[in-house]
Amino acid sequence: MNGCSPSKGLRPIVPVGASEKPSKGCNHSRLCIRNYIYRGRENVKKTSAIIGILAIAIFAMLAGCSVDGLDTQSKTGSVTLHVGTAEARTVQPVAAAIEIKKYSVSGAGPNGNTYPATEQTTGTFTLSKLALGEWTFTVSGKDVAGVEVASGTVAVTVVAATPATAAVTLAPLAGTGATGTFAMELTWPSTITVSSVTGVMTPETGTATTFTATIAGSKATYTNATLPVGSYKLKLYAVDSSNAVYNDVYALRIHKDLTSPLNLALLAKDFTTTGSANLTVTNPWNPTMTFAGNQSVISVGGSMTVTATVAPAPDSYAWYLDGNVIAGQTTNALTIGSAVAAGSHTVTLMVKKGTTLASSEFVFTATTVLPGTIAGTVKNAVTAAGIDAVTITVLSGTATVATTTSNSAGAYSLSVPSGVTYQVRFAKTGFYSDTFDGIAVDPSMTTTLETILKIADTYTGPGVVSGQIKDAFSGLGVTGITLSLRAGLGVKTGTIVYTGTTDSSGNYSISGVATGNYTAQISKTGYVTEYFSLLSIGGTTRANQNATITPVISASEIRFVLTWGAAPNDLDSHMLVPTSGTPTHIYYGNPGSKTTSPFAALDVDDTSSYGPETITVYSQQPGDYTYYVYNFTGSPDISTSGAQVKVYMGSSVRTFNVPAGTGRYWKVCRVNGTTLTPINTLETVAPAASASIDRGSDIVDESTMFLNMPAK
C-alpha cells in the first residue's frame, strides 16, 4: 500500500518555530497517527489546538532476522508512527491545557517480549525487531508538562513476510473516576429581564444531567466540577420576562482535571418566540465545518438551500433551528422554506464522529420586504462569447446574500431582498475576478447589469484604452474632459489609478493601463459628472470605449440619453408625451419642440452606431411620459447591443441596461412628476400611453403606432 500522508486540509503538529511541512508519507511498514484538534465556538473562548479524536492507522511489515527463544524460522518486523492534525469547533479547555507536545509508545508481545516505552516530541516513531506473534501497543499523548492527556491501544498480529495493518484511537484520558469541569457564564443587556437559565448535558452513553444556572443581575453562572470525561450534547434555554426564549445547542467535551469554559453575551434579538420551518435536503455532500448557500437575509415566503462541508467526514448530522431539532434532517444539506417567520433565526449543525460531537452555526433574518432580481450576462472580453459556470456572488457588506452560476450562454439571475445596495462578484478559474459595486434593487423588479466582460488570465501586463466622449445634447466630441480611472466596476469613490484628457475632437487614449476592468469618471465644468465602464487587455489597444456627458440641466428638466455598441447600426429613442387628447409621439419623424407644445424634443438622432440619441423634456405637463427604444435596423437583436439609457432628473441619474429577451421595442421607464417607474422589458409591439403602470395593457399594434413613419 502507499504511504499515509496527512489527509487533504490537515496540518502536521510541529514544535513552535519548526517547519509545518508534513513528513514524507508512511510506507507499508509505518503506523500513522491522526490527531484531530478542535477549536471552541466563535462566541466561546477561541482555541487553536485542542485534543479531539486521535485516529491512528498502523501499518506493520515484517523483516527477517533471528531472535532467541523462537523457532528456527524466527523473524522480526518494524512499525513506524506518523502524526497529522485537523481542526473543527466545540466547547472544551483552552489549547495550551490539552495540546499534545510529546508522544510515547510501548508494547507487549509473545513469549514475554516487550517493547520498552519510547518517548519523543516529533510525530514519527520507528519500532523495529518485533518478535513474530500477537502484540499489543499502547500510545500516549502528553502535554508540555509531560502529563498524559490521551491514550489508546491496538492489537497487531506480526507474521512472516506479510504486512500487518491495525488502527488505534486516542481519546481524552478517562479511567475510573476521571472527571473534569464545565464552567458557563451568560450575560445579557440590562434592558432584558431573564427569569431562568437551564441546560441539559447528554453524554454519549449514560443519563442526561439537567441544571439551573444562578442568576445575578444581568449574568447567569453554572459550574460542574465532577463531570465524567467524554463528549456531551449541551442544550441551553433562557427565558425573559415576556416569555421570549433563547435556545441553542453545543458540543461539549470534558477532559480530565481541566475546565471547559462557555462564555456567551446574549443580545435582545437572541430572545425570540418559537417559529416553524419547512426543511428538505437537496445538496450532495462535499467534504471541509463551513456552510455554502447560507444568506444573511431572505424574504418571508422565499427560501435558501444550505450545504455544510465537514472534514474529516462525520458519522452523522443533526440540524437545529433556534435550538429546536429539525426532525428527519440527518444529512449535510437542508432547505429553509416559506414557513420561517419574520425575524432573526439561528441554524445550528451538530455532527458526530465516533463518540465525539462538534457544532457550528449561522444566523439569518427573514424579512417581509418584497424581493427583486439581479440579472445579466457574462461574456469573453475578446471573443464576445458567453461564459458558462461563472460563479456569481451577491454581497451585502461582507455577508453573502445569494449565489449562482451562469448558464451556457453566460446568463444569470438571482433573487435578493430589495431596498439594499449590493456588490456582485464574478469569478471563474482561468479569468481575472471582477466586482460590480453599488447595485440597487427595486421590489418586484429586475435590475439588469451591463454585460460583464471577463478577461482570460493569459493576458498580462499593461494595455491601451481609447475612445471618444460626446456631448449628449449636441452629439459632438467634447474637448478638455478629464478621465479618472478606478479599479473595478461601479466604483465611484476611492483611489484613482490612471488619468487622461480628451483632445479637441473629444478623443482620449491612455496607455500603460494594467489588465482589468475599470470605472472611468468623466468631468468638466458645466457638465454633469458621469461614470462608465472600460477595460484594458494586456498587450492590446481597446478602442471605441465611448461615453457621453450631458450639460447641466435645470431642476425641472428631464433628459433621456441612449447609447449602444457597434451593432445594430440604428437604435431610436421614442417618447409618448401627455398632451390634450391623444398623446404626442416624439421620435425622429416628429422631433417635437423646446419652446412650444409638447415642450419636449429629440435633441440628437444617431444612425451609425454608438449614439447618443437624446430626448429632453423642457417643461413637464401633467401625466405619464413613457420612454422606449426601437431597433430600427432590426438585426441583430437589441438585447445583444449593449444598449444603455441614462435618465437625468435634476441632480439625480438613473441607469438602465437592455435586458435579455426578444422584441424590437425596449420599454425602459415611465415618469410622472418626480416619480420614475422602472419597466425595463422587451416587447414585440409598440408601447402606448397609459395612466397605469401595468406592463401588459399599455401596448398597441405596431401598424397603428408607426403608420406612415418616414424613411431615414
CATH of the domain at 527: 2.60.40.10
Planar angle of CA 10, 15, 20, nearest 5 degrees: 40
Q: Determine which of 330-339, 644-653, 672-681 has the lowest per-residue pLDDT on average.
A: 330-339
Residue 566 lies in a domain: yes
Q: What is the DSSP letter of 3?
A: -
Identify the pLDDT of residue 169. 67
Q: Which domain holds residue 510?
A: 462-549
Q: What is the DSSP letter of 590?
A: B
- Per the structure, the count of domains in the chain is 6
Does 461 score more than 70 pLDDT?
A: yes
Residue 583 lies in a domain: yes
Q: How do residues 35-87 score in pLDDT, each as one tens digit?
A: 333 333 333 333 333 333 333 333 333 333 333 333 334 456 655 544 433 33
257: left (phi over 0), alpha (psi -120 to 50) or beta: left
Identify the pLDDT of residue 278. 45
Query: Could you tell me if 118 and 131 lie in one domain?
Result: yes
Pairing label, strands 245-254, 446-448:
unpaired
CATH number at residue 247: 2.60.40.1120
Taking the C-alpha atoms of residue 436 and residue 412, their distance in angstroms, rounded to an integer, is 15
CA atoms within 13 A on the CB side of 209: 19
Q: How do residues 136-181 score in pLDDT, each as one tens digit?
A: 888 887 777 677 777 778 888 877 766 666 676 666 665 557 888 9
Place of cell 434593487: 441
Does 601 score more than 90 pLDDT?
A: yes
How large is the average pLDDT for residues 668-697?
75
Taking the C-alpha atoms of residue 217 and residue 205, their distance in angstroms, rounded to an integer, is 36
Identify the pLDDT of residue 281. 40
Identify the pLDDT of residue 522. 97
Q: How do residues 542-596 score in pLDDT, each as one tens digit?
A: 999 999 999 999 988 999 999 999 999 999 999 999 988 789 999 999 999 999 9
The gap from C-alpha 385 to its chain's centroid, in whole angstroms, comes to 26
- The residue out of 172, 198, 220 marking a domain boundary is 172
Does 471 score more than 90 pLDDT?
A: yes
Taking the C-alpha atoms of residue 378 and residue 391, their distance in angstroms, rounded to an integer, is 10
Taking the C-alpha atoms of residue 451 and residue 436, their distance in angstroms, rounded to an integer, is 11
CA-nearest of 508, 538, 492, 511 to 381 is: 538
Place of cell 413613457: 626
Query: Could you tell me if 52 and 124 lie in one domain?
Result: yes
Query: Could you tell me if 164 and 204 lie in one domain?
Result: no
Does 382 score more than 60 pLDDT?
A: yes
Residue 580 lies in a domain: yes
CA atoms within 13 A on the CB side of 230: 20
CATH number at residue 157: 2.60.40
Taking the C-alpha atoms of residue 585 and residue 577, their distance in angstroms, rounded to an integer, is 6
Residue 18 lies in a domain: no
The model's pTM is: 0.52
Q: How do residues 494-524 score in pLDDT, each as one tens digit?
A: 999 999 999 999 999 999 999 999 999 999 9
The gap from C-alpha 640 to its chain's centroid, in whole angstroms, comes to 29
What own/partner pairs with CB < 8 Å and gap ≥ 24 does 690-698 have? 690/624, 690/626, 691/623, 691/624, 695/667, 698/626
Confidence of residue 98 (pLDDT cuts 50, 70, 90): low
Q: Please name the residues in contact with 309: beta carbons below 8 A apart, sequence gap of 6 or more.
A: 285, 286, 287, 288, 289, 290, 291, 292, 332
Query: Could you tell me if 208 and 220 lie in one domain?
Result: yes
Q: Please name the residues in contact with 159: beta carbons below 8 A apart, sequence gap of 6 or more.
A: 62, 132
Query: Could you tell me if 562 and 701 lie in one domain?
Result: yes
Q: How do residues 178-207 score in pLDDT, each as one tens digit?
A: 888 999 999 988 888 888 999 999 988 888
Query: Could you tell me if 394 and 358 lie in one domain?
Result: no
Identify the pLDDT of residue 49. 34
Query: Could you tell me if 338 and 450 lie in one domain?
Result: no
Residue 19 lies in a domain: no
- The residue out of 499, 515, 549 marking a domain boundary is 549
Query: Starting at the edge strand that comes first in sequence, how are the strands of the sheet with 584-586 ordered?
Result: 584-586, 571-577, 625-631, 665-672, 675-683
Confidence of residue 624 (pLDDT cuts 50, 70, 90): very high
Identify the pLDDT of residue 5. 37
Which phi and psi angles does 211 have, rounded to 5°? -135, 160
Does 464 score more than 90 pLDDT?
A: yes
Does 302 score more than 80 pLDDT?
A: no
- The residue out of 172, 201, 227 marking a domain boundary is 172
The widest CA-to-CA distance across the chain, in whole angstroms, is 120
Identify the pLDDT of residue 219. 93
CA-nearest of 97, 98, 103 to 83 is: 103
Q: How do residues 395-447 score in pLDDT, each as one tens digit?
A: 999 888 899 999 999 999 998 888 889 999 999 999 999 999 999 998 888 99
Query: Could you tell me if 355 and 394 lie in one domain?
Result: no
Query: Could you tell me if 296 and 375 lie in one domain?
Result: no
Dihedral angle, C-alpha 516, 519, 524, 525, nearest 10 °: -150
Residue 21 lies in a domain: no
36 exposure class (CB count in 10 Å sphere: 0-12, 13-18, 19+): buried
Q: How do residues 331-363 score in pLDDT, each as one tens digit?
A: 999 887 667 888 888 999 988 887 777 888 888
Place of cell 508481545: 109
Residue 25 lies in a domain: no
Residue 17 lies in a domain: no
CA-nearest of 168, 181, 171, 142 to 260 is: 181
Q: How do residues 203-262 score in pLDDT, each as one tens digit?
A: 888 888 999 999 999 999 999 998 888 888 889 888 887 776 788 888 888 888 888 898
Helix (H) or strand (E) holding 703: helix 702-705
Identify the pLDDT of residue 24. 36
- Mean predicted lDDT score pLDDT of the chain: 79
Identify the pLDDT of residue 57. 37
Query: Could you tell me if 38 and 162 lie in one domain?
Result: yes
Query: Could you tell me if 389 and 426 lie in one domain?
Result: yes
Place of cell 453599488: 438
Does 9 score more than 70 pLDDT?
A: no
Identify the pLDDT of residue 125. 64
Query: Could you tell me if 695 and 604 lie in one domain?
Result: yes
Taking the C-alpha atoms of residue 272 and residue 686, their distance in angstroms, rounded to an integer, is 52
